[in-house]
Amino acid sequence: MIQKPPGVEDIFPDRIDRWNHITDAARQAFRLHNFREIIIPIMEYTEVFARGLGDETDIVSKEMFTFEDRGGRSLTLRPEGTASVVRAFVENGEYNRLSLNKFFYMGPMFRAERPQRGRLRQFNQFGAEVFGSEDPYYDYEVIAMMDSVTKMTGIEDYELLINSIGCPRCREEYLAKLRDYYHDREEQLCKDCRQRLNKNTLRLLDCKVESCREIRSGAPLITDYLDDECREHHEKLKKYLTTNNIAFREDPFLVRGLDYYIRTTFEFVADRLGGQNAFAAGGRYDQLVEHFDGKHTPAVGFAAGIERMFLLIEEKEILPRGIDAFVIHTGGETLARALEITSSLRKAGLAADLDPNGKTFKGQFKRAERDRAHYCIIIGEDELKNDTCTLKDQASGIQITITLKELMEKMQA
Ligand code: HAM
């Protein structure tokens, strides 16, 4: 028997309702916030991620699925979406002429990580990116959008962490202080952190090893080094969140594992997930477009891990979405009428179904129940003769007889 490789998953129909519960909520939030979908390639030239994410990041240095095509060019399965969206944005003249763009995407990402609960090699993200504004309103908007998706899916036990890691100008002084602090404690650091010390100092704050965590607790805080503009940006974001009742906690050590961030970083975390506790994360990346040879375009975005959100709603009862109406008939002419009604309902944008071979009322009512129909529309001989139908509200059991014209009006109301 051939088995799947480690760190990839099959999602069978019994889990699909739960899966769609998450992606439907995301799509709804994207629509409500006026984000438009972009479909980006699954593979890119390796350069896209090396340049975009930073050579020293864990993702680029050890987690990419990279291979050569037949012409000897290096390709990589996308480990995330942001670098690809930026590459596409710069490459496409039409969109980068617009002053503001709000994109969203969904799909599989690939990282050669050690598989464990909530950490896969092929996982799915939905994400959003806003191009063209420095305004902290947009930092707020992407956070608020993810917050609304989280609430829509029914996840309650989570926390939003935010931070500002400043801009390269104010970060320089901070990094020098941080390096001094850690150099003084080099002996006590784990092996990885000793390497990070000179290469990627900020990532020292991200280490999960207990002894490094302890050292971190006394480390200088980036928020004490922000220049006036970065501080003001951060304050405005917090004000937007507070005014709009979005609870958050400031975490001055939230630096994230990607090099492109500037100013805002944030994570949605849930303790229930264990070690891999972030189910969504993002931040601002005002210099990435220029890094890809585009004109200066500030940007901010986030991505959520669908499988991690899936774990958080695993125990919830998610009922499949029902149809609007199931049309019941007694065969012959009543079937022809039932077909007409079903097709009119579908044309009007309502989900409707019938059983063309339905023999008994009982059997058809059973189907309606299974399909979680909101209404049953019954066409018997009397209804056929009088151009009426019997409309039964499945929840209350109340039945009324109405004309077909009234039916369409009621169903569309
Ligand atoms: P990220 O933090 O690398 O950010 O990933 C975002 C989310 O993807 C994580 O919070 C997690 O839920 C999920 N995720 C990441 N790796 C795995 C994995 N191995 N298995 C399962 N789920 C995973 C980004 O990808 C950035 N592109 C976010 C962003 C967009 N920043 C600005 N715009």
pLDDT at 104: 98
> Which residues partner with 130 through β-bridges?
102, 300
Q: Per-residue pLDDT averaged across 260-289, rounded? A: 96
pLDDT in tens, 15-24: 888 999 999 9
Query: Residue 368 — very low, low, confident or very high, per pLDDT cuts 50/70/90?
Result: very high
The verdict on the CB of residue 120 being under 6 Å from ligand 1 is: yes
Q: Per-residue pLDDT averaged across 205-215, rounded? A: 90
The verdict on the CB of residue 240 being under 6 Å from ligand 1 is: no
Cα of 79 vs centre of ligand 1, distance in Å, is 9
Percent of the chain at pLDDT above 70?
100
Residue nearest to atom 22 of ligand 1 (CA): 305
Distances (CA, A) of 334 to 194, 237, 360, 365, 413: 79, 61, 13, 16, 25
Cα of 375 vs centre of ligand 1, distance in Å, is 42
From the alpha carbon of 118, which atom of ligand 1 is closest?
21
pLDDT at 201: 86
Single-letter amino acid code for the residue at 241 = L
Q: Per-residue pLDDT averaged across 163-171, rounded? A: 93
Query: Residue 98 — very low, low, confident or very high, per pLDDT cuts 50/70/90?
Result: confident
Element (H, E) at 163: strand 159-164
Q: Per-residue pLDDT averaged across 379-396, rounded? A: 96
Contact 11, 122 (CB under 8 A): no
Query: Residue 238 — very low, low, confident or very high, per pLDDT cuts 50/70/90?
Result: very high
Cα of 88 vs centre of ligand 1, distance in Å, is 19
Domains of the chain are 13-167+227-312 (3.30.930.10), 325-412 (3.40.50.800)
Q: Per-residue pLDDT averaged across 267-283, rounded? A: 95
Please indicate whether residue 199 or residue 113 has the higher confidence score (pLDDT): 113
Cα of 65 vs centre of ligand 1, distance in Å, is 16
Query: Residue 356 — very low, low, confident or very high, per pLDDT cuts 50/70/90?
Result: very high
| SS3 assignment, position 243 | helix
The verdict on the CB of residue 127 being under 6 Å from ligand 1 is: yes
Single-letter amino acid code for the residue at 68 = E
Which among 18, 11, 301 has a CA at the least distance from the CA of 154? 18
pLDDT at 256: 85
Contact 56, 104 (CB under 8 A): no
Residue nearest to atom 30 of ligand 1 (CA): 302
What average pLDDT is seen over the chain? 94
Is the pLDDT at 4 greater than 80? The verdict is yes
Is the pLDDT at 313 greater than 80? The verdict is yes
The verdict on the CB of residue 279 being under 6 Å from ligand 1 is: yes
Distances (CA, A) of 131 to 41, 62, 71: 19, 29, 34
Angstrom distance (rounded) from CA 373 to CA 158: 34
The verdict on the CB of residue 281 being under 6 Å from ligand 1 is: yes
Contact 345, 396 (CB under 8 A): no
Q: Per-residue pLDDT averaged across 116-140, rounded? A: 97
In this structure, how many other beta carbons lie within 10 angstroms of the beta carbon of residue 210? 8
**Which are the contacts of 287, defined by CB distance < 8 A and separation ≥ 6?**
168, 260, 262
pLDDT at 322: 87
Angstrom distance (rounded) from CA 357 to CA 27: 36
Query: Residue 57 — very low, low, confident or very high, per pLDDT cuts 50/70/90?
Result: confident
| SS3 assignment, position 392 | strand
The verdict on the CB of residue 153 being under 6 Å from ligand 1 is: no
Angstrom distance (rounded) from CA 222 to CA 170: 9
Cα of 10 vs centre of ligand 1, distance in Å, is 20
Ligand 1 pocket test, candidate residues 267, 276, 285, 297, most atoms within 8 A of CB: 276
Angstrom distance (rounded) from CA 167 to CA 135: 15
pLDDT at 215: 94
Cα of 235 vs centre of ligand 1, distance in Å, is 25
